[in-house]
Amino acid sequence: MRTLRDPRHFSTLKNMARSPAHYLSSVLEPREPTAPMRFGNICHSILFRQPHIVWPKQRRGKDWEAFEASRPANDTRLVITQDEYDRARRVCDAIGANPDATRVLVGQHEVERTWSMLCTPCAGRLDVLGDRYVTEFKTTTNSHPATFMRGAMRLGYHAQLPWYIDGVGQPDWDAYIVAVEVAPPYAVTVFQLSPRVLQEGRKLYRLWMEQLLVCESTNDWPAYCQSVVPFDMPDYDQPLIIDGEEVEAA
């Protein structure tokens, strides 16, 4: 389990967008991966040829329990069912059939890097460290450019990429996202982040870091509000956010 003394990772830093309390919880009480997150990890493992195990049955029953009991404690390989593998294989095949995607996925994969910012240790794992570029691979339910970019901004992808290129000491490098849908027709879209969006993302992660350092120095981790909030008629021009997700009006 990560602690507050560990290097700062973007995966937890981004929770500062909700509140310092959510950041603290993400570090001290990390949540189990959701089903979409697990499938994304499976696609990563297959696409980047990471060690994994294909289990031909369901992950339950006596055979599964015996298999789990026989695994060495230091065996960290991802166990994938045959159904999961077949589905992920189709996703990866779609990426392989896209020339732009294959071009920006060339390089070192799953690269661990550490650096310092504001006298604070930071770390990250880059999906692709290429020749003057970094690339993130994202699975999604919708890779339509307008839809994906809107969701990516909400999820902080535009801050994640400058976090990485600044982390490797190459702020002028290009940054790409390869987004692929997890259901037929497995549509692939390749995005190149503009200098303007990278600069805005850089401002955002630096703001989170500055806020985080204040919280750490004061040991004060507020949630959304520290006073009573007036409950008035909402502005219907603004999106409704529930559990961090934008909800369409009925």
Q: What confidence tens digit (pLDDT) does each residue in 116-146 have?
A: 999 999 999 999 999 999 999 999 999 999 9
Residues whose CB falls within 8 Å of the CB of residue 214, separated by 6 or more in sequence, listed in order: none
Instruction: Answer positive or negative: Cα dihedral of 68, 73, 76, 77.
Output: negative
State the DSSP code for 77: P
Please compute the mean of the pLDDT values over residues 202-229 and round it to a whole number.
95
State the DSSP code for 224: S
Please list the alpha-helical segments (H only) found in the chain: 10-13, 20-28, 35-47, 62-70, 82-96, 99-104, 145-155, 157-167, 195-218
Instruction: Give this prediction's pTM.
Output: 0.87
Instruction: Answer positive or negative: Cα dihedral of 151, 153, 158, 163.
Output: negative
Q: What is the overall mean pLDDT for the chain?
A: 91
Please compute the mean of the pLDDT values over residues 180-198 and round it to a whole number.
98
Judge whether residue 245 has pLDDT over 70: no
The rounded distance, in Å, linking the Cα atoms of 32 and 11 is: 13
pLDDT at residue number 67? 80
Domains of the chain: 35-97 (no CATH), 98-209 (3.90.320.10)
The rounded distance, in Å, linking the Cα atoms of 177 and 137 is: 6
Cis bond before residue 185 (omega within 30° of 0): yes
DSSP-derived 3-state class of residue 33 = coil
Please compute the mean of the pLDDT values over residues 25-40 and round it to a whole number.
92
The rounded distance, in Å, linking the Cα atoms of 26 and 14 is: 10
Please compute the mean of the pLDDT values over residues 225-235 and round it to a whole number.
85
pLDDT bin (cut points 50, 70, 90) of residue 250 is very low
The rounded distance, in Å, linking the Cα atoms of 37 and 32 is: 9
By percentage, how much of the chain surpasses pLDDT 70? 92
